[in-house]
Structure 1
Amino acid sequence: MLNKKIKLDFWNIVTFLIIIVFAIFLIYPLLSLFLDGFKDSKSGVWSLMNYIQFFSKKYYTSALVNSFKLTISVTVIAVLIGVPLAYFMSFYKIKGKGVLEVLFIISMMSPNFIGAYSWILLLGRNGSVTKFLEKVLGINMPSIYGFAGMLLVFSLKLYPFIYIYVSGALKKIDVALSEAAESLGCGGLKKVFTVIMPLITPTLVAAALLVFMNCMADFGTPALIGEGYRVMPTLVYSEFVGESGGSANFAACMATIMIIITALVFFLQKWYINTKSFTMSSIRPIQPKEPKGIFKVLIYIYIYMLAGLSIIPQAMVVYTSFKATKMQVFVDGFSLGSYKKVADKALAAVTNTYVFCFFAIVIIITLGMLIAYLTVRRRSVLTSAIDSIAMFPYIVPGSVLGITLLIAFNHQPLMLAGTAFIIIISLVIRRLAYTLRSSSAILYQISPSMEEAAVSLGDTPAKSFVKVTAKMMLPGVASGAILSWITIINELSSSVMLYTSKTKTMSVAIYNEVIRASYGPAAALASILTLTTVISLLVFFKVSGSKDVTM
């Protein structure tokens, strides 16, 4: 029995190789980050000084408090906006519902920093709306910069998460429950709060977590319009790359704190969902009815106003990309000058984005399909651990992941800092989750009998997987891969930590142009990125046959 050997078949080899990949590119970097947080930046000795410094100085703790203030406020507002929207769109017949849903999803999938940039163009110190109100009506608009501006940008960007998840939950409610409540005299708002809300609460908590995590981890928005309102992602960035004596060890300490916070929130949400969730079978789903009277007018105003506000960032960047510029200022008239500047000076960033993302998506599809097969078809403690490890980066802020990879691969024997390879690694690690989940979902629907038949006819396990299972998985894999593609082309938080002049991507180039107040080229680049996102989403809708972009 002691001499029993592990059978070295194809899937055991795949399992072993995936463990090695995760050990090198995820576990080792996270361990390096954690250990570096306990090193003194000057002497290099082990100590708790970094953590003592963080929690003893108000400058640092205030950033953590500010992050929670902003994140909780955004989450609450997103819930207050998204839940009524989902209720109205599910219970009432709304004209143009299909187009409205596409607009909501486009606004959600577009990068946060483009929203921040667009609102600067509208409500910044020299924004078009600001100048109009000041000259024509004599009204001085409140500043878009600081807490209020970030609250506006994040709320309008993230409430679609609540809308999409809650809409999905409402579709599973059987109309019999609503009718039973009404027959017992429970109608109107009382029915909503005593019957419907308890049924959708687990889903609402999951959606709220997504809003919380997106807001907590975002770097671009506070970097562009934060102006003095310090939050953790920008503080970690400034400490790591700071020109006035930044400390990588202290940045590692703060990054570790961020990971602990996001992990605690994630596991708390998971515990709540596991204890409170239940299944619903909607034999008779809710049938939308026609709203009437003043209520109909109010609903339409609410829904269409939200759609308009949500799509303003995309419309604004496209419009301003064709505006004529003189030096760095917009002037009267239209031209293609901004696009010519992009072609002359930023074409490499556009090319890098598509090339890096192409290689990243190929790796993501390959890993996603293999890991999904292991976790669904060859269940064990080891494959379950691989699945959990693969999903963990989903809760790690992008800026933190960037620092993690730099700390781990900024020296021999694996010197990757400054190369395209490290950016591709970050994109794969950050966005594998979408493709992995869609691959797992489609695999549950495929019977293993066809693959077993192929093996019985002489095919090897590897050949049967490629010839049979992989081909049958492709529709489900494709939908997840497109979502992964959309998120990686818009990635800023990790890329801004890792790029060099030769590996700059479009999102980084947009960020740099906005920082330099070069709004014309920024608008042109943002328009290219927005167009890519919209086309990718339309392809996703076609491939998946639905508008469900949840994981």
Structure 2
Amino acid sequence: MKSGIKKLNMWQVLAFAILALFLMFVVYPIGLILYKSILMQDGSISFSYFGKFFSKKFYWSTLVNSFKVTIASTLVSAVLGLIMAYVLRSVQIRGSKYLNILIVISYLSPPFIGAYAWVQLLGRNGFITRILNSMFNVQLGGIYGFSGIVLVFSLQSFPLVYMYVSGALKNLDNSLNEAAESLGCSVFQRVTRVIVPLVTPTLLASSLLVFMRVFSDFGTPMLIGEGYKTFPVLLYSQFMGEVSTDDHYAAALCVIVIGITLILFFLQKYIGNKLTYSMSALKPMQAEKATGIRNILAHAFVYLVVLVAVLPQLTVISTSFMETKGASYTGQFTLENYKNILMPKNISTITNTYLFGLAAILLVVVLGVLVSYLTVRKRSFLTSILDTLTMFPYIIPGSVLGISFLYAFNRKPLLLSGTAIIIIISLCIRRMPYTIRSSTAIIGQISPSIEEAAISLGATERKTFLKIMVPMMMAGVLSGAIMSWITLISELSSSIILYTSKTQTLTVAIYAEVIRSNFGNAAAYSTILTFTSVLSLLLFFKVSGNNDISV
């Protein structure tokens, strides 16, 4: 008699196992936040915490401030990224290969490091501020507040728009541009009537990514916002502040953030599905050698933007070798800052960053490859659920994920708070969606007939996957893993909530040193992080065999 129960195969078991992991480390913590947001201190259910937020201007004004900052930063980033992409794609700029690398480096650096560096330059006692004050006999107030936050976010975020739009322009058929020129359109008319409409879907999609990144960042407004308080700062202070903390109210704020980011995510999906289109570049846009004033203006604009974008990194590196007295630099050369951070009690911060990052990236690669293979080659209702769940960490801000982890894993039998494991898992969960998406694209380019041929020759599915699919995917997966590694070691928002004195990472150490006004140590830590990112980026170019990082 045959049993009616269908035997599970290896892939179904893997799908169930990975699904169980995501249910435990994504669904359960977020579900706990939702429950805690409506749970009163006496155990009753109520929405009063949401009423508290929307009834007091002190609270809801932070949400308005966040939208003001985010909208302004997104608009500036979109315009700047579009212009930079067009100029570098249409005009031959000397050293464009290296300029492209510098633009990417400026994006990979954490925003709060840019904020700290701009304080050194344009703060009340900043280098540039002192020069301007002495030259014009004025007393400038510094970079603090709305304008400073927008400046830092815009310079940090325009490279993302640049990379996306540059990729779109690479696939643009230049015959359309030439046709417009033959009909008498000026350069400005061709750009506004032909180029911009064609890249608008990509521009909007990348702008939404910038919007989500800026909206959820708290490090920059915390450092230079001063009286201009944003929503992520309110969330952090409610959960981690020294006074007036309220876990349940913080949970309600997390739910509001999740709701807003979900709306933005579905808006991005709508734009991606409805407005994007494919184009075959029969005659791709080629950078042409410009002459006269056009050539001068193009070079001047590109060089100036790149210089301003990488100025924070240059400032951090140079000040790391300067002697400090209190919060000021004496201008004297010293290695004391590096001696301080390389002391036995501080060196663990650096080793933690690399060890946690390597452990997380190994998990990201293994799980990312398995999830992408299951969702592409083994499609089913189960893998569809898995595909949706793996995108959730992409939507959820890091601070919300950190708070949810503390709620979920702060007691037995899953007592993980305060350990290295919880930080590694949070880093893995946060960065996995990027690797899954890149791996999915790679698998889509490999014909299923290759696997079918191997199986027809007697190979098992497991052997086919390990001996054929994995090696064919490896170059692309490694490239994606290196880029994930760069963003992973720069993670602050979740790490600063989950860390302890024994699990502190570079980003947390930099933030802590800036808060304490130990700018020399902060600069030394930042320089190590910057050089790690640069070396990783060069490794990415070596592995991928491509110096063009356009998306």
Q: Give the structure-2-normalised TM-score.
A: 0.97
Aligned to 1:423: 423
Q: Match of 1:499?
A: 499
Q: How does 1:3-14 map to 2 (within 5 A)?
A: 4-14=4-14
- Is the 8 Å Cα contact of residues 202 and 276 (structure 1) preserved in structure 2? yes
Range 7-16 or range 513-522, more displaced? 7-16
| Residue 114 (structure 1) aligned with residue 113 (structure 2) | yes
Aligned to 2:529: 529
Helix, strand or coil at the partner of 1:359: helix
User: What's the offset of the Cα at 1:346?
Assistant: 1.9
Structure 1 letter corresponding to 2:110: P
The whole-number CA distance in structure 1 between the counterparts of 2:392 and 2:547 is: 26
Could you tell me which residue of structure 2 aligns to residue 385 of structure 1? 385
Q: What is the CA-CA distance between 1:232 and the residue it aligns to?
A: 1.2
Equivalent in the alignment of 1:540: 540
Identify if the C-alpha distance between structure 1 residues 423 and 75 changes in structure 2 by more than 3 Å, giving closer, same or farther.
same
Alignment of 1:91-106 (within 5 A): 91-106=90-105
TM-score normalized with structure 1 length: 0.97
User: Which structure 1 segments of 5+ residues have no match?
Assistant: none
Cross-structure match for 1:144: 143
Please give the root-mean-square deviation of Cα atoms over the aligned residues, in Å.
1.7
Tell me if 1:514 matches 2:511. no
User: CA 1:430 to 1:547, structure 2 compared with 1: closer, same or farther past 3 Å?
Assistant: farther
Cα distance in 1 for residues equivalent to 2:45 and 2:368: 38
2:352, 2:503 within 8 Å by CA — same for their partners in 1?
A: yes
- 1:181–1:332: structure 2 CA closer, same or farther, 3 Å change rule? closer
1:265 is aligned to 264
Equivalent residues in 2 for 1:179-194, closer than 5 Å: 179-194=178-193
Q: Does 1:172 align with 2:171?
A: yes
Q: What does 1:247-266 align with in structure 2 at a 5 Å threshold?
A: 247-266=246-265
Whether the 8 Å CA contact 1:375–1:383 is kept in 2: the answer is: yes
Residue in structure 2 matched with residue 67 of structure 1 by the alignment:
66
Asked whether the equivalents of residues 390 and 432 of structure 2 are also in contact (C-alpha less than 8 Å), the reply is: yes
1:140-539 to structure 2, matched below 5 A, reads 140-327=139-326, 329-344=328-343, 345-539=345-539
Moved more, 334-343 or 372-381: 372-381
Aligned partner of residue 391 in structure 2, secondary structure: helix
For residues 125-144 of structure 1, what are the structure 2 equivalents within 5 Å? 125-144=124-143
CA contact (8 A) 1:123 1:141 kept: no
What amino acid sits opposite 1:529 in the alignment? L
SS of residue paired to 1:479: helix
For each residue in 1:446-477, what CA deviation from the matched residue of structure 2 results, as whole angstroms up to 9, or x when unmatched? 23344344444554322332222112211010
Offset at residue 547 of structure 1 (A): 4.3
Structure 1 contact 75–211 (Cα < 8 Å) conserved:
yes
Name the stretch that deviates more: 361-370 or 386-395.
Answer: 386-395
- Distance (Å, rounded) in 2 between the aligned partners of 1:4 and 1:111: 56
Q: In structure 2, give the amino acid aligned to 1:153.
A: V
Query: AA paired with 1:188?
Result: V
8 Å contact 1:164–1:548 — kept in the other structure?
no
Deviation at 1:79, TM superposition (A): 1.3
Verify the 8 A CA contact 2:97 2:547 in the aligned structure 1: no
C-alpha distance in structure 2 between counterparts of 1:27 and 1:332, whole Å: 52
- CA distance, structure 2, for counterparts of residue 6 and residue 348 of structure 1: 51
Q: Give the SS at the match of 2:330.
A: strand
Q: 1:74 and 1:362 mapped to 2: Cα distance?
A: 34
Deviation at 1:126, TM superposition (A): 1.8
Cα deviation digits, residues 432-459 of structure 1 (max 9, x gap): 1221122112212223344344444554
Deviation at residue 359 of structure 1 after TM alignment = 0.6
Separation of aligned partners in 1, 2:535 and 2:225:
31
CA distance in structure 2 between the aligned counterparts of 1:24 and 1:121, rounded to whole angstroms:
43
Match of 1:25 in 2: 25
Paired amino acid for 1:331: T
Q: Is the 8 A contact 1:112 1:154 kept in 2?
A: yes
Could you tell me how far 1:188 is from its partner in structure 2?
A: 2.4
Distance 1:136 1:65 in 2: 37
Asked if structure 1 preserves the Cα contact closer than 8 Å seen for 2:129 and 2:142, the reply is: no
What are the Cα deviations for residues 361-409 of structure 1, in whole angstroms up to 9, with x where unaligned?
0100000000011011111232122122112211211111111111111
Secondary structure of the 2:42 match is coil
Distance in 1 (CA, whole Å) between partners of 2:396 and 2:126 is 34
Instruction: Give how far 1:162 is off.
Output: 1.2
CA offset digits 1:20-65 (Å, max 9, x no partner): 000100011111111111112x323210011000111111110100
Letter in structure 1 aligned against 2:103? F
Which 5+ residue runs of structure 2 have no aligned equivalent?
none
Does the CA contact (< 8 Å) of 2:91 and 2:289 recur in 1?
A: yes
Aligned-partner Cα distance in 2 for 1:79–1:439:
28
Question: How many Å separate the matches in 1 of 2:166 and 2:422?
Answer: 38
Write the deviation string for residues 289-316 of structure 1: whole angstroms up to 9, x where unpaired. 2222222222211110001001111111
Whether the 8 Å CA contact 2:495–2:508 is kept in 1: the answer is yes
SS at match of 1:126: coil
Q: Is the 8 A contact 1:37 1:50 kept in 2?
A: yes
Contact 1:437 1:480 in 2 (8 A): no
**Separation (CA, whole Å) in 2 of partners of 1:465 and 1:274:** 31
Distance 1:288 1:245 in 2: 58
Relative to 1, partners in 2 of residues 1:230 and 1:550: Cα closer, same or farther, differing over 3 Å? Answer: farther
User: For each residue in 1:146-165, what CA deviation from the matched residue of structure 2 results, as whole angstroms up to 9, or x when unmatched?
Assistant: 11111111111111111111
**DSSP 3-state at the match of 2:323:** strand
